[in-house]
Structure 1
């Protein structure tokens, strides 16, 4: 059966041998996924040297040979079907089958090449941990175990994909995460039927509430510290084997705008940086549209001297402000994507130098005005301030329809576009949690981690958006106080 099943699979090794020279057995493993040195040392050598005479004294050949006790391997499991055997060997676990036995034994000796733990490139911080998740799910779960040293951290593994059989781990802290949330996330994942899962975005698109929204309804992170913080807030992680990006459910719009470094700096600095980020989010979304609307329809809003400067810069431009803005924005987005796709050695140089050269050449050729180049540059810089790449893409994409509305209707169109986006955000849900909470609906007690980054001793309870029980995070009286009277140094 094995020879027929694995025909033309040259990397699958089927090794026939005898236990103690008496009982026929076969060892099955995949070369490159299992540690062949440990197989020879801890499986084949002990089994082939064992005395099988006692095992056959009852005339039941091979049935009582203690394979899992003879081999010196800690992790073993039983294999009773061909499907289980296939799953074990493709996970890297060699399987021993013994003649006249109705079950085989799988040994945990998986070993394959994997990327070492490195700092995440997309979520770099000045102060904070420097390690990130890898493509190996067991390495990622071990990082969580190292941070949360409690049996309450649960890891539920599901295999998805008819051909890939990809391991998907659901992680949560029992006693903090809501049972209804755990059940909902688990149910959405278990009903997935697909031929293969290659990245966590496959799962994200199949379990999110509104697949047609440009805004991400699950956060993604490569940082174990961010994932651990989400677990302690009562949220659920979805980890996919083969992807370093971990999904966090549920999520809100405010969490997408927050950086892990907000909590590693002093709370005053973190609050100021957070407000700066909020301001530049509006700049990234509305700055080109505001410029187009004012220049096209509302020149009376511009101070006289600035208006004269704009008129002089635009007097030889053949295009209206809308076409000028669309041309520059599309060119800038193309340069940004080119910088991402090119090799690292030349990508940054091409994106920066290309923007400077093209902007200068376009201005000198009279295709665009200098103020427009400055507005597009500021907008591009503002879009880089968003910590979540997926959230930044959503704002970059929505910038274009708002620009069109502003070019045809002026400030009325800009206001209409902003209201439509706001209404859409109010209608979104992430596993039952309103996307704009705690701002809409308003929850005053939760604003201490939205409008500002309150000090840690003030955030005594977990967010009520995710947790209905076990809300206390730390007791009262944790505020540091200077020594009094004679105790003062």
Structure 2
């Protein structure tokens, strides 16, 4: 097991616990325990006297975090009932934690220490500490009782066809889900500890015979530089390891689907999973990956290609349609067919605002409704979003605040954004939409074209863990276009993406 500790965790001079050691004097050590944890109402200290010589012992655990069944069946039973074993234990000068857990307690795992700095966080994480008179060490027994939910279908990545299994908040369950996809000795899972004050488990997963060693080493290095008190969710990790934090585009893919993670690992990518988060991170990522869905590969290649084309179209539509409307209405009316421009002019006669302000009113209203629908209870949220949009749009038209054509433009834009499978990419495109609208309102179509060129320039320069963000389009790799805009038949996709520099570039089969 590989572990990386945060640099802030070793300042012994500023930590009052660093100088506290257990002495072997049972009463003094127990008093030290009470001083350290006695004020916590959920911490329980139980004292025992066992054996013919009445050896004193005590155990401490946290209710709710420690498994009471394990404590009662193993530790308490040993201290209360097995006098012969207890007497044997009391006569032994030095018993290792392995002998204690295997010979006396038949316990699954444990450790021993005389350092309060080591002992206290373990107890508060769910371990049970056991003191026995005459011993200078405290035995820490793994009685952690993890709170987990059932494995359910991912909410944020629903599919018509595909596995109905998603990650949970338990890291053990998530790594097991990866293992359960099939027998594979190449899947390597490395464990780390992250967080300066509140430590959590984090793992990286990759195929050791496929992934580029340089990529794996880069992931390890970036994780080792994480210097934060607490990582509440994998989104923290994503923000701390991405290449360009100023870019609006996500450079790490998050997913709840184990099948998507396994597919990415077989391509030569690396996955990152954090305890307490149901979202795994995949690196490196490209722009086209964020517009793909696992369902593209579960259906035949012709409908898969068609649906993928639709996603690329809706991505650009959600970003540019309002800006195109503003540029045509404000600067380039001559490019609109005559009958259509007359109809638009008639519908806008009662509107007192310029096209930019009209578009901003509707777009901001839609964004507020979208956010409100997410925060409301599930039975109310979808209905409120739909009904609210209809009511506000109709009322705004009747009041002469916006034109009917603007309502159509905003509705098409909103529907297009719903077709984007990646939620964080959808947010990015919504932000870019407002910038495109402002550019079109100032310089018309010329401003929109200039903005688009600047956006393309930014995308070309952007990287994710050394991989160009818009590859295989730039740099040009025709061989990898079999899985870009098109989704070629599986029989024709024999090679892994060349941009990943995998150790084994050919897929088996």
Into which bin does the TM-score normalised by the smaller protein fall?
Answer: over 0.9
Residue 392 (str. 1) matches residue 423 (str. 2):
no
Query: Deviations 1:377-431 (Å, cap 9, x if unpaired)?
Result: 0000000111110000000001011111111111101101111111111111111
**More deviation, 249-258/188-197:** 188-197
Q: Confirm or deny that 1:374 pairs with 2:405.
A: no
Question: How far did residue 78 of structure 1 move?
Answer: 4.2
Find the counterpart in structure 2 of residue 185 from structure 1. Answer: 219
Distance in 2 of aligned mates of 1:144 and 1:285: 36
Aligned to 1:168: 202
SS in structure 2 of the partner of residue 95 of structure 1: strand
Distance 1:181-1:25 versus aligned 2 partners, 3 A rule: farther
Contact in 2 for aligned 1:47/1:71 (Cα 8 Å): no
Corresponding residue of 1:482: none
Match of 1:27, SS state, is strand
**SS in structure 1 at match of 2:491:** coil
State the secondary structure of the residue aligned to 2:163.
coil
Query: Which residue is equivalent to 2:338?
Result: 304
Are residues 1:203 and 2:237 paired? Answer: yes
Question: 3-state DSSP class of the match of 1:410?
Answer: helix
Whether 2:125 is the aligned partner of 1:88: answer no
Q: 1:225 to 1:87 in 2, by over 3 A?
A: farther
Check the 8 A contact 1:176/1:467 in 2, yes or no: no
**8 Å CA contact 1:61, 1:100 repeated in 2:** no
1:160, 1:344 → 2: CA distance? 34
Alignment of 1:21-32 (within 5 A): 22=53, 23-32=55-64
**Any stretches of 5+ residues in structure 2 without a counterpart?**
1-31
**What is the distance in 2 between the residues matched to 1:95 and 1:177?**
41
Q: CA deviation at 1:3?
A: 1.4
* Residue among 15, 23, 45 paired with 2:77: 45
Tell me what 1:269 maps to: 303
Distance 1:412 1:20 in 2: 90
- C-alpha contact (below 8 Å) 1:237/1:247 kept by paired residues: yes
Comparing 373-382 with 74-83, which one deviates more in the overlay?
A: 74-83
- 1:247 aligned partner: 281
Contact preservation (8 Å) 2:206, 2:270? yes
Change in CA separation of 1:24 and 1:326 when aligned onto 2, cut-off 3 Å: same
RMSD: 2.0
Distance in structure 2 (CA, Å) of the matches to 1:32 and 1:65: 26
The alpha carbon displacement at 1:273 in A equals: 0.2
Shift of 1:457: 2.1
Greater CA drift, 14-23 or 459-468: 14-23
Deviation at 1:119, TM superposition (A): 1.3
C-alpha change, 1:191 and 1:98, in structure 2 (3 Å) is farther
The Cα of 1:212 is off from its aligned counterpart by: 0.7
State the partner residue of 2:469.
Answer: 435
Aligned residues of 2:61 and 2:127 also touching (Cα < 8 A): yes
**What is the distance in 1 between the residues matched to 2:454 and 2:447?**
10
Map 1:51-70 → 2, pairs under 5 A = 51=84, 52-55=86-89, 60=93, 66-69=99-102, 70=104
Residue among 45, 48, 55 paired with 1:17 = 48
SS of corresponding position for 1:17: strand
Structure 1 moving runs of 4+ over 6 Å: 61-65
- Superposed, which structure 2 residues align to 1:115-154 within 5 Å? 115-154=149-188
**Unaligned regions of 5+ residues in structure 1, if any?**
476-489
List per-residue Cα deviations over 1:179-199 (Å, max 9, x = no partner): 211111111111222111111
What is the distance in 2 between the residues matched to 1:328 and 1:64? 67
Moved more, 158-167 or 12-21: 12-21
Mapping 1:263-342, distance limit 5 Å: 263-342=297-376
Q: What is the CA distance between 1:95 and its match in structure 2?
A: 3.0
Which residue of the partner structure matches residue 397 of structure 2? 363
Match of 1:484 in 2: none
> Given the superposition, is the C-alpha separation of residues 264 and 62 from structure 1 closer, same or farther in structure 2, using an over 3 Å criterion?
closer
> 1:327-386 deviations in whole A, cap 9, x for unaligned?
111111111111111111211111111110111111111111111100100000000111
What's the secondary structure of 1:460's corresponding residue?
Answer: coil
- Tell me the number of residue pairs that the alignment of Structure 1 and Structure 2 aligns: 474
CA contact (8 A) 1:62 1:99 kept: no
**C-alpha distance in structure 1 between counterparts of 2:115 and 2:259, whole Å:** 40
State whether structure 2 residue 107 is matched by structure 1 residue 73: yes
